[in-house]
């Protein structure tokens, strides 16, 4: 297995070097040279296979022997050592809860896997590795927790000032140590632009070893397949429709990859908020990124989703084939809030704003497809979002891990949209 750039100007490379580089020199994204196929009876046996074994079997072809099997199995075990329950909300809709990890968000899976891969690959390197991540909410917290205290690794996080929730900000800014947090006066797209600029800076790359911990990194992106398998492990009946709250589109891209490998899924729904570049694309076949707008589902406030190019790559840029497997919808903040109130009142289930976008997209789809049932990914715990209490009219129970955050000191550096300032901070980590 090797990895090529979606821009096809950089040379192909190994899994190890793709992880260490983060992004190709030509500013594309790494993509596997082939999509492995599951053994014919693998899905039939899912219910009897431990989660760590599923993770190992799914990821092993992508690693291609660059991590010894025993070490890779240990990495997988540490990555998925928490629950992924499939919870029935109605007789036709269930939710896969992905918020039982250390930072209460689905990003924990990719961040934990990547941090352990990078620890393995960095063990024979004398120089430090600087991990750069732009975040619209949950990514930064998961990366900070995954890499905090890892020897030989420095983490630089960029997040948009005033555009993440209080809990998300505390997870981003209270660790210190080898984690440096930059509070940017701008949008997530600005954060992502600066991170990509640093990764592509030829002069900086000669003096600092850098990689990305956003889902542009294959070690962050590929393991997100795991929980789609965990969903099907707990599912009974015909292949489900799966609705994925979508921002930067790494999560959905990994689910489609699992489907192409052989995981049975009837259809995927890209559930978006007002940042509707992909829903518009699915209607017109014209891809037109726009500046992001702020919404209740802030982690999805992405105007130029990086990983959508990987979805196009999976389908060899054939729009007709993509249209068969994917539909995309945009859900307003008003509808998001009303969905949260409706499901809490009628089903006694508390959705976060991102899960509510996914739920509404799925429920609307099922209204016109009465023969189908589906799964929505609940990507983060409701306590992480300031809006939930106000929308629902009741106080969300606060886990002990969140209460503890409020006793910590905030540590961040506020900057403008200034690459020189970002570069100076990165250079200081040498």
Q: How does pLDDT run along the chain (430 residues), one tens digit per residue?
A: 999 999 999 999 999 999 988 889 898 999 999 999 999 899 999 999 999 999 999 999 999 889 999 999 999 999 999 999 999 999 999 999 999 999 999 999 999 999 999 889 877 677 788 999 998 777 888 888 888 988 888 999 999 999 888 888 999 999 999 999 999 999 988 998 999 899 889 899 888 888 888 788 999 999 999 999 999 999 999 999 999 999 999 999 999 999 999 999 999 999 999 999 999 999 999 999 998 898 999 889 899 999 999 999 999 999 999 999 999 999 999 999 999 999 999 999 999 999 999 999 999 999 999 999 999 999 999 998 889 999 999 888 888 888 898 999 999 999 999 999 999 999 998 7
Closest CA to 39 of 227, 223, 262, 231: 262
Of 9, 27, 37, 107, which residue is the catalytic one?
107
Residue 380 β-bridge partners: 105
- State how far the alpha carbon of 179 is from the alpha carbons of 141, 147, 191, 300, in Å: 10, 8, 16, 24
Assess contact for 171 and 200: CB atoms under 8 A. no
Q: Is residue 107 among the annotated active site residues?
A: yes
Domains of the chain and CATH, by start: 84-105+221-392 (3.40.50.1100)
Which string of b and e fits 86-97 if b means at least 16 CB within 10 Å? beebeebbbbbb
């Amino acid at each position: 297995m090797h990895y090529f750039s979606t821009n096809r100007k950089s040379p192909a490379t190994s899994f190890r070097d793709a992880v260490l580089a983060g992004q190709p020199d030509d500013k594309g994204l790494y993509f596997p040279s082939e999509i492995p196929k599951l053994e014919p009876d693998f899905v039939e046996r899912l219910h009897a296979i431990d989660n760590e074994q599923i993770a190992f079997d799914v990821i092993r072809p992508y690693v291609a022997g660059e991590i010894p099997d025993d070490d890779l199995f240990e990495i997988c075990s540490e990555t998925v050592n928490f629950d992924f329950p499939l919870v029935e909300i109605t007789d036709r809709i269930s939710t896969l809860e992905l918020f039982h990890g250390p930072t209460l968000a689905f990003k924990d899976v990719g961040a934990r896997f990547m941090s352990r891969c990078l620890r393995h690959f960095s063990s024979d390197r004398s120089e430090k590795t600087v991990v750069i991540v732009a975040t619209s909410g949950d990514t930064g917290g998961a990366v900070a927790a995954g890499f905090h205290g890892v020897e030989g690794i420095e983490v630089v996080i960029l997040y948009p000032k005033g555009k993440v929730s209080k809990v998300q900000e505390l997870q981003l800014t209270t660790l210190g140590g080898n984690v440096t947090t930059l509070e940017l006066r701008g949008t997530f797209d600005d954060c992502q632009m600066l991170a990509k600029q640093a990764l592509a800076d030829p002069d900086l790359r000669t003096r600092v070893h850098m990689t990305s911990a956003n889902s542009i990194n294959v070690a962050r992106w590929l393991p997100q397949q795991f929980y789609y398998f965990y969903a099907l492990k707990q599912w009974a009946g015909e292949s489900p429709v799966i609705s994925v709250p979508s921002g930067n589109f790494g999560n959905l891209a990994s689910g489609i990859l699992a489907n192409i490998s052989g995981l049975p899924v009837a259809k995927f729904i890209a559930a978006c908020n007002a940042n509707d570049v992909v829903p518009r694309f699915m209607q017109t076949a014209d891809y037109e990124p726009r500046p992001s707008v702020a919404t209740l589902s802030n982690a999805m406030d992405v105007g130029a989703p990086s990983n959508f190019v990987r979805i196009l790559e999976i389908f060899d840029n054939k729009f007709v084939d993509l249209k068969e497997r994917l539909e995309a919808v945009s859900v307003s903040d008003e509808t998001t809030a009303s969905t949260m109130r409706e499901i809490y009142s009628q089903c006694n289930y508390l959705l976060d704003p991102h899960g509510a976008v996914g739920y509404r997209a799925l429920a609307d789809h099922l209204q016109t497809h009465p023969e189908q049932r589906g799964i929505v990914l609940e990507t983060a715990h409701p306590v992480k979002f300031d809006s939930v209490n106000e929308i629902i009219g009741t106080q969300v129970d606060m886990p002990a891990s969140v209460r503890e955050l409020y006793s910590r000191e905030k540590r961040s550096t506020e900057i403008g949209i200034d690459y020189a300032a970002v570069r100076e901070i990165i250079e200081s980590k040498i």
